[in-house]
Amino acid sequence: MTSSRTAPIDAIDVAVFDVLGTMVDEPGGLRTALREAVPGSDDSAVEELLTEWQKHVEEQQDDIASGRRSYVSTDVVDREAAVRAADRAGVRDPAVIERLATAPRRLPAWPDAAAALARFGQHLPVVALSNASHAALLRLNAYADLRWHLALSAEAAEAYKPAASVYQLAFVAAATPPERTLMVAAHASDLRGAQAAGMRTAYVERPVGDPLRASDDFDWQVGSIDELIDSLTTG
């Protein structure tokens, strides 16, 4: 599936990728960690704990965006989420809770991610732009074997996407104008923020991405990163 609008690759100087959900299976990785922390849990119990985790992260990021809470990194928020999940499951072992808290550093890449990223990198510089902290992003990229020309954390802006200051990290670091900077993500909300910052946008379908709205008008809508490369290089 591609949009009707296309543009040659020479209209873009750098490609910026969301990581969590777009390049790695965040919910899948957290499910694995929760099953490990709470052996014998059935699928329903794991889903409840995952929902609790995701709800906490979303609420805290919303509070930070609105000014109700001062900025803290994903390391802090994920640890809070892990403690909540452990408490709900009756887990008390500090070592188990500690490993659960660092689960977001051990998320599996989507099967096509590494190869498609390498292929993309043959045409353009590729940049990671993630809400994950510097430390988490470093370890996550190593774990998932994702090779970037540059990896940027929203921690540098002390904000979370879709704050404009996060997207500015990418085109300032790359020394490119936003209109020649492509943001690739499986999250429509992420792309709306990038679009508001003046960036080009590409929506990639993933099982965990948030859906499009009827009002969304991104430059590309594709079923895979490989499809996006094909659109860019043959359009």
pLDDT digits (tens, 9 = 90+) for 49-85: 999 999 999 999 999 999 999 999 999 999 999 999 9
Domain boundary among the residues 105, 121, 138 is at: 105
Residues 117 and 94 in one domain: no
Domain boundary among the residues 105, 127, 161 is at: 105
CATH number of the domain where residue 95 is located: 1.10.150
Residues 34 and 71 in one domain: yes
- Number of structural domains in the chain: 2
Give residue 10's pLDDT. 87
| Rounded CA separation 6/19 (Å) | 24
Q: How many CA atoms lie within 13 A of 169 on its CB side?
A: 25
Domain span at residue 53 reads 26-105
Residues 178 and 96 in one domain: no
Domain boundary among the residues 59, 77, 105 is at: 105
pLDDT digits 0-9 by tens, 223-233: 999 999 999 99
Residues 128 and 202 in one domain: yes
Residues 145 and 206 in one domain: yes
Rounded to two decimals, the pTM is 0.94
| Rounded CA separation 69/77 (Å) | 12
Sign of CA dihedral 26, 27, 32, 36: positive
Give residue 235's pLDDT. 56
Instruction: With a cut of 90, say whether residue 177 has pLDDT above it.
Output: yes
| Rounded CA separation 157/189 (Å) | 18
